[in-house]
Chains A and B, each alone.
Chain A
Amino acid sequence: MMARVKPPRSAFLNFPLGHQCGRPHDVSLQARVLKDALNVLTTAAHPGEIVDLPYEWDTPFAFSDFMKALESMLQEEGATPQDWQPEK
């Protein structure tokens, strides 16, 4: 998504969506991610540069896991499903 939008400078953390700044309550990881991201402000050499951050999520994840997680979250929270439909 970042590669399409091309913000002036980006740092990419390859974690599941919802963890853009790291794992919950992992203060030191969050601080490292933020420092790395902020450093890109000064180190980026060209517009649209994306820096891949060197942190790994502990388990493999795919798009199907993203959808399964969403479903289980909605069920757990008793949330109403989305009722919006495309205009025909």
Chain B
Amino acid sequence: MTMPPPHPDDELLASFQDGDLAGAAAGGVRDHLSACQRCTAVIEELGTLRIALAELPDIAPPRPLRLIPPVGEAHARQPMGLVVRRLFAPLMAVGILLAVVGGVGVAGGLAVGSLESAAPARDTAADAFQTLGGEPGGPAGPTVGAAVPSSAGGATRESRPASPGADALGAGGRATGAGAGAGAPRAERVGAWPILIVLGVALLIGAAGLRATLGRRRPSSSRPDG
């Protein structure tokens, strides 16, 4: 007794009907169709369906549509969309940069905090800061300047190669004028870095929001010619 061959999957039949199969796959389906009424009917019905779909009529709008935009409206909308699109990438880049720099700063500050707790050496760190010309008790601003670019320099001047980062950042902590010691609060060591993070994140959110709001008003149909 011979079993009838299994039907191909319907999606395979649809691909075949679409001319999307080639080679052995197409040959296999063709062989099957020659002996299977059921699958032949599927292929024929898919063909009939496509013809019927292609003949669906147009539909009149239920209300009158404004055919021509009022003078000024169409062109007034375009520049805004373009401005948003052009500004989006730079704003996002600056936001990410600020957030990352701020994050590195905070991480550095916290790491120094741990180092200092482990091996307190406050006086040399304070000297290092004064050598660099900072003003004790000044605002958080100098902290930023001292921590990043001159950390190595601070280390050299103080001849403490074991922990150059600790020197400079420790100096930054001292710059807040809080008498940064081994037990000083972490927030003082972190300095102004969180402000950069907040600014960066705010910029990211602002840019994304602007694009979402203004981009929505302009259909992304600026690809009429594909």
Q: Do A and B bind each other?
A: no
